[in-house]
Structures are given as structure tokens and as C-alpha cells.
A and B are shown apart, each in its own frame.
Chain A
């Protein structure tokens, strides 16, 4: 419980001036390009696992429960997960939040509200064409950075994290 609160605080801190939306107890934070850049530039010696997904992306929906499950297995001092939704801003209340409730996704989800994707895609990875799901694993202190613009199964995700620790 304490861990989740601390992760939440981290997310709120990062969200900065961004707003948030709470519907029936389910909350999402909104982030913009500057917030994403802060996440990408984090200098701490810990692994960040950043997943880009959306409810409208079938393979994303399929792998999201793996992130939800695996995020509970790691100490937040070691691995921080960021589930960044690219759901349409007009569909957060009507689609994203009901989806999170229905699928029991308790991990914090942030919504990227800069819809001019061209502004920030290259900062994640210059080779990324914009297809999701996509997962970036980084630890800047250890100069670890690997980008996976594809669906990951539970085994692949676990292996990826373990070999980056």
C-alpha cells in the first residue's frame, strides 16, 4: 500500500501542472511532452519500464495485464513502470476509465495529451514509426536503453527486465 502511494506521488510529481481525471474512484493523470522528457531523462540508478498503449490497440490490451501483474513483483526502488495511454483525449471518461475498471488495472496510468505525436516520438526512439504497443526500458545511470516496438508476452517482459537489472 505504501509502495503504491509512493509511486503515485512520483507520478503526481512528474505530472506537474498537468491535470487529472477521477471518475468513480478511478484516476488517471494527464502528462505532456515535458513530463515525458523528465521521465526519459531520469538520472537515478533504477530501471524505468515505459509502455505506450491505448484501449483502441488490440495487441496493447492483450499485453497490459502482463505489465499490471509483473509491476507488483518488483521493488519500486529497482523498477518503476509507466503505463502511458495514448487514448484519445475525448474518450478518457467514456472509454479509458471504464476499461481500467473492467480489467482491474490498479497500476497508475497516465495519459499523454500532446496529440501532436511528432513532437515527442523521436525522443523515445528516433527509429520508432509510431506503432504501438511499444516498450522502452531505460536506466540512464547504467546507460541501459532498449526499445521494443512490438507486443511482449509475459515471459519476454520478465526476461527483458531481469537482464536489464
Chain B
């Protein structure tokens, strides 16, 4: 009987603690950061004085789901950077656990895929921890509000990783367009399957 109570307790408490982490959700305020891009420059969101906000996306070189979204992210940047919302991709994967996600590989990937957006290296994984990112891709749409970075949308890019043409819910694009036109965002949070973030093994 005691064994079942113990399991029951774990069964109730464990899911609750998962939510108790400080993962950003819409309405929270996000931290800026200082991360190296593929050109060796140190980049902070504060440098983008003309931007109205940012499409921050936890990304990497190796995840097949990320690869499915490569073209889409390039297009999203083309569409929204000129409107004040550039894409900022961040690789937080540990190269020890995932050698394909090293800085050198990031430079190769950015060049091969013609990334026109910032691709930053979160070597210490501190930014991923701060934001509460758990998989790739994982989007955090931010807006500049009252001199701070407000989280407006967290989650998936759209509703079909496999087939871009079949995706009919463009969660991220809709959220950005809502911000641009001053309308409320219909879905401020969605979930999506992706590769787990590769945390450093201690």
C-alpha cells in the first residue's frame, strides 16, 4: 500500500515540478545575451536598435527536424527582418555530446545553407537554460516593450515539420503578423516535437 502511495505521489508531483521551471512563456520578460556568431563577432539583441522584436529560435546543425525547417526559417527571416523582426538562431548543443554541433560545423552549416540571419553559439548553454529551451527547433518570439524584451510567443514554427506545403497553421508567422498589425496573438504558446537539446554531461 505504501509503495502505491509513493508512486502516486511521484506521479502527481513530478508533472507539477516540470511546470515549475522558469521556462519563458508569453508575458514573461526575456534576458539579452552576448554570444559569438559564425563570423566571430559578439552579438547582443541590444545592438539591433532598429528592430521591433526578435524571432529567437533554438537551432542546431544536426537535428533532422531543424533540417526540415531550414528553408522555412530562411524565408521567415527574409519576410520579417525587413519588418523589424529578424531571426536570431542559437545553437546550445554541447559538442562533446553532439560533435556535429561544434562551432566549426556551425560555420560550415551557415555557409552551406546561406543563412542570412545571425547564428549564435551558446557554448555554456546558459541562454538555453535561461529561456527554458528543451528541443530544437524551439521558438521564442520577442517584442521590444517598455525598454524590455517581452516574450510574445513560444513554441513551434507551424503544424507540419515533414511537409511545408501541407502546413496550414503558421503559428509563428501569424504571431509576428499580429504584432506588426497591433492585434492580439491568437495562440501564444504551442508545442512541437523536436530533438532534445544536447546538455553537457557532468
Contacts and interface: CB of A to CB of B under 8 A. Distances in A.
A129 B171 CA distance: 16
Nearest to B135: A131
A41 to B, nearest CB: 16
Interface in A45-92: 52, 54, 56-59, 86, 88-91
A117 B192 contact: yes
B193 interface: yes
Interface string A111-148: 00001111001100111111111000000001111110
A117 B8 contact: no
B64 A56 contact: yes
B194 A147 contact: no
Contacts of A129: 23, 134-135, 138, 191
A163 B138 CA distance: 34
B156 interface: yes
Contact of B156 (A118, A125, A142, A163): A118
A150 B159 CA distance: 23
Interface residues of A, number: 36
Contacts of A117: 156, 159, 191-193
B15 interface: yes
A56 B65 contact: yes
Interface string B1-30: 001100110110011101100010000000
A121 B192 CA distance: 8
B113 interface: no
Given A118-B190, A122-B191, A127-B15, A88 B134 contact: no
Interface of A: 52, 54, 56-59, 86, 88-91, 115-118, 121-122, 125-133, 142-147, 149-150, 163-164
15 contacts: A56-B65, A56-B195, A58-B195, A88-B68, A90-B162, A118-B191, A118-B192, A130-B156, A130-B191, A130-B194, A131-B195, A132-B195, A145-B15, A146-B10, A147-B18
